[in-house]
Amino acid sequence: MPGEDSRYSSLMLRDAGQGPDEAPLVDEIARRIRERIMSGEFPIGQPLRQAALAEEFAVSRTPVREALRQLQHGGLIEVHPHRGAVVRVPAPWEVRQAYEVRAELEGLAAQRAATRVSPADIGLLRAHNNVLRQAVSQPGTPVTAAANDAFHTGICAVADNGMLQRMIDQINGSFPRNVSSTALADAERHRTENVREHDAIVCALADGDGERARDAMHAHVINAGEYLTAWYEHRSRTVYAPDRAAATARR
């Protein structure tokens, strides 16, 4: 890709210096790997080979290894004896718990937004949801994760509470953002319900009804969490399980 060589060359030069530049280099590599995990380019269950990453980023294995350790500490990857580093598959109970907290936080955001929302904000939220509506009405149209994210982040922005936004971002950063879209890809009924639930949230916001907006958002996030939990339960049985594979190999 154009420009990639210059960026990787920059990384290589920084890596050669080591010393004070090593920590920023590790952070930069961790950031790039994290972005690719969150986008789904590195899907859950995929191995992350140090040698391949070092070659791609034009650095030695040392900063790659440290970057992977950083991501392991953050919970996005895990290291197995027989596979090395892999993109972590969250346990279903973790997903459910995260969405329970997210429902409370986004419910509060919707309640606050109801007293601050403008007609322009309402129009933008409806536009985002109409993108999702169109995707549902046209079979074969991929789920538009960007529109769904924009709908939720738009409400958080109107809520105007930096601490609340950071807490929601922290939860959202715990799981790859493409997973919801992947889970919804073949679930037309749930995608339709998702759009209807968004409509209910927007109507409550337009009416300035904070309690109704909060309840609608809370129910919406809980429903999404239950669906995603079930998807992860199925996925955790199909994604490579190192312990099971190792046991099979010993037989």
Q: Are 113 and 250 in contact (CB under 8 A)?
A: no
Q: Which CATH architecture has domain 92-238?
A: Up-down Bundle (1.20)
Q: What are the φ/ψ torsions at residue 64 (nearest 5 degrees)?
A: -65, -45
Tokens of 151: 């709908």
Q: Are 226 and 96 in contact (CB under 8 A)?
A: yes
What CATH class is the domain 4-88? mainly alpha
What is the residue extent of each domain of the chain? 4-88, 92-238
Distance, in Å, from the CA atom of 115 to the CA atom of 214, rounded to the nearest integer, reads: 12
Distance, in Å, from the CA atom of 21 to the CA atom of 149, rounded to the nearest integer, reads: 35
> Between 242 and 180, whose confidence is greater?
180
- Per-residue pLDDT tens over the stretch 40-95: 888 888 899 999 999 999 999 999 999 999 999 888 899 888 778 999 888 899 99
Three-class SS state of 59: coil
pTM of the model: 0.76
Tokens of 180: 């919801």
